[in-house]
Structure 1
Amino acid sequence: MSQGTSTVHVSCYCGKYVANVIVNADSTIQKIPCHCTSCRRWTGGLYVYRLPTTQEPLGIQRLTEYRVTPLSTKYFCPDCGSHIFGKTGQKWGVSPGVVDGEELQPSVEIVGHEFVEDTGDGGFTSWLTHWGGKELPRWKGEAHESELLPPEWPSADDNQRNQDTEDDKLWAGCHCGGVAFYITHPNEASRQPRRAPFPELMVPGDKAENPEGQTWWLQAGGTKYLAGLCTCRSCCKATGFDIQAWAFVPECNVFQPNGEPLDVNAGTLKKRYSEKIDGAYRCFCGTCGATVFWGSDNRDGVVDISVGLFKGKGARVEDWLVFGKRVSYVQEATNKKLVQELGRHFTITGWPKA
């Protein structure tokens, strides 16, 4: 690990928080992402890591503070939900997704995964199995302090021991509990044609129209929902991390705990419209900052849901979701090495130009 320092510019999704931050490295930082349930719930993503900083950031009082544990505190923008800083004990870190630039600098070298057992199915580690040709160790709990999981984990028996769920409902919620909802399996209403534009993981962004109302969100013979990984700058800024997993679900299959239809203003949800895309909005928890929804007034009845919030059998909830084989907006990714390593499991080239 590099012993010098670097100054990086950071900014949140809405741009109301900007700062220069001194990172405790000048070239490459070795990191072990955390995959624990807690981290997935307060972000909506599938893992967490940060770049170590040398001191308390300036302007921290302008951010919302959320204490996860007595030793762990997160700081996010109250206007857009971007997770910007974290503090564990006396150590500070900045989230990689808010670092500005064409490429993440200092660069990151992933050297393992921790708290993997929490995922039940390996979660993101099943896709990020190697780095630089080396197989990555997966620790059951804290890195170097817990047992290593065997390469064959999880087995069929392990899957049977995963969290029990209701067969007809998949619950979701943020870390603080202020946001809670559930989805139901695809039904006749799900199969109704909708002029919802295709996501970028299926077609190039400039060809996303869906005039015939194809039900692209349904997979596996109409029994599961499409999910995908996105590395666009907006998602990275909004979440604070360098990749986001979304599930695409018709609004008619999303319900509040009392059985009422989806309400993107319910509970502690905060809604922010995009300044770049007409009608597009993002929803996050105003208490813990979890990224919850992406939607659009111009999209006919389909909403994106953060996969990290689902409380199913495994972090990838593959009994409900089918992940697309392409990473979206790879041309915008700043953690280019991460995207490169995902090439073992996904298509990581941009769409051919017309």
Structure 2
Amino acid sequence: MTLNTNFRGPCTFIHIALTRFLLHHSSNFVKMASKTLTASCRCNSVHFTVTIPTEVLPLKIHLCHCSICRYSHGAPCAFHAPLPPGVELQFIDPSGYDKMTSYRHAASVATGYFCSTCGCQIGGFESQWTISTSIFDANREDEGIWKFNSHMLPDSAPDGGLAAVFSAVDGHQMETENLGLSPQAIAGSDSKPPDRESKDLLAQCHCTGVSFLIARPSEKFIASPKSKGLISPSDKRKWLARMDLGDDSRLVSGANVISWMSVSADHITPRLPKDLLIGSAKAYCPSKDTLLVFCGTCGATVFSHSEERPEIVDVAMGIVRAPEGAMAEDWNVWATKVSRPENGMRYQAGFARALTEGMQRWGAERGHPQDSGLA
């Protein structure tokens, strides 16, 4: 009996048809199985994509309140999410690793990276990436990408920081996790503790390359017209502070929100030069009238300054080392009205709503004013 190798049975034709279909539509299957996200810092020097398997979406956002994250970001906390193992940053030319500065310290579990030009925190890498989730503007209209999952290490700040302001985003109750660590263990042995005896307030980035003292409003300043909008009418020993959801602030810090303490420049020691560059500081100008300053070693956002308010310096609250905690309520009266909420709503509306409503509730409970006059 001779085997007819040219025989084409019904199963054979089905197999051929299926093979042709799969070959023709294979690109569509790849697209269905993964999602490409695009990230960029404020100056666009760091610009990359990451391709995420759809089965692991949404990525879980952790808000880390540890002092290391606060002091190295200049923000109330870090906003980050671990990427799946094997997912790498795919840089878009001319971007690349050479556009970033790396930072590693004694307590590091990963090497951090930030933009060398504008200071935006990009993420950290050890065996896999933990990425800043605040820099994906290209995907802000996409649904199902992110989930605000947890407040990590809020006990690092005695007052709880933002974890005391809101506990849920988009109706999802966030977890709170301190990992069984003490605040001292969370901070790390290389982090200088706040000085409870000092009459001035220390502001210092994580690497200590930028360090200065803030004094309370002087009697002379309180009596001058310059103090209007800078100090609290109810407690003139305190400066005014506010939360800022602005795009510029987000994209230079790598955090969804940054908090600013507005201070008269002559109350800062050492005396600040006109360009605000002290220690290891570097400057970036997102617009002709605005100057943003960050540490060139650890990447912490330090100052914001506008030509419209030449005598005022906005100090990034994340580097302020107040003994009472991240909100520094012994030094600040907070405007419970968040600055530039429309920017936050456009980027991640759920978080913007949680922060805006939370600040109103938190501030009302503590007697803080609604508006700072500087928002």
TM over 0.5: yes
What letter is aligned with 1:8? Answer: L
Q: How does 1:297-336 map to 2 (within 5 A)?
A: 297-313=307-323, 314-333=325-344, 334-336=347-349
Partner residue of 1:176? Answer: 207
Cα offsets for 1:208-240 (capped at 9, x unmatched): xxxxxx610101332211111111111111101
Equivalent residue, structure 2, for 1:74 = 112
Task: Report the CA distance between 1:343 and its aligned residue.
Answer: 4.0
Higher helix share: 2
> How far is the alpha carbon of 1:45 from its aligned partner?
0.6
| 1:67-112 CA-partner distances (Å, limit 9, x unpaired) | 144531111111111112321x311133122212373645432232
Query: What amino acid is aligned across from residue 36 of structure 1 in structure 2?
Result: C
Question: Within 5 Å, which residues of 2 pair with 1:1-354?
Answer: 5-23=34-52, 25=54, 27-53=57-83, 54-58=87-91, 59-68=96-105, 69-87=107-125, 89-101=126-138, 103=140, 105=142, 106-133=144-171, 135-140=173-178, 142=179, 146=180, 163-191=194-222, 192-194=224-226, 215-219=228-232, 220-256=234-270, 261-263=271-273, 264-274=276-286, 276=287, 278-313=288-323, 314-333=325-344, 334-346=347-359
CA contact (8 A) 1:24 1:52 kept: no
Which structure has the larger Rg over C-alpha atoms? 2
After superposing the two structures, state which structure 1 stretch, 90-99 or 288-297, moved more: 90-99
- How far apart in 2 are the matches of 1:50 and 1:32? 6
Range that drifts further, 322-331 or 103-112: 103-112
State the distance in 2 between where 1:299 and 1:125 align: 32
Task: Quickly say closer, same or farther: Cα 1:232–1:343, change in 2 above 3 A.
Answer: closer
Q: Is the 8 A contact 1:23 1:52 kept in 2?
A: no
Mean alpha-carbon deviation: is it higher for 65-74 or for 38-47? Answer: 65-74
Structure 2 CA distance for partners of 1:104 and 1:165, relative to 1, 3 Å: farther
Give the TM-score, by structure 2 length.
0.74
% identity of equivalent residues: 26
Structure 1 residues 23 and 237, CA gap change in structure 2 (3 angstroms): farther
Deviations 1:180-206 (Å, cap 9, x if unpaired)?
001011113433324xxxxxxxxxxxx
Higher mean C-alpha displacement, 177-186 vs 106-115: 106-115
RMSD between superposed Cα atoms in Å: 2.6
Aligned partners of 2:79 and 2:256 also within 8 Å: no
Return closer, same or farther for 1:113/1:104 CA change in 2, 3 Å cut-off: farther
**CA positional deviation for 1:50:** 1.8
Deviation at 1:56, TM superposition (A): 4.3
2:136 & 2:97 partners in 1: Cα distance?
A: 16
- 1:297, distance to aligned residue in structure 2 (A): 3.1
Does the aligned pair in 2 maintain the 1:225–1:321 contact within 8 Å? yes
Q: What TM-score results when the alignment is normalised by the length of structure 1? A: 0.78
Q: Which ranges of structure 1 fall in alignment gaps of 5 or more residues?
A: 150-161, 195-213, 349-354
Listed one character per residue, the Cα deviations across residues 305-330 of structure 1 (whole Å, up to 9, x for unaligned) are 11110111211110001111111111
Would the aligned equivalents of 1:139 and 1:147 in 2 still touch at CA under 8 Å? no
Aligned partner of 2:351: which letter?
L
Q: Distance in 2 between matches of 1:181 and 1:45?
A: 17
Q: In the aligned structure 1, how far is the partner of 2:293 from the partner of 2:220?
A: 24
SS of the residue aligned with 1:299? coil
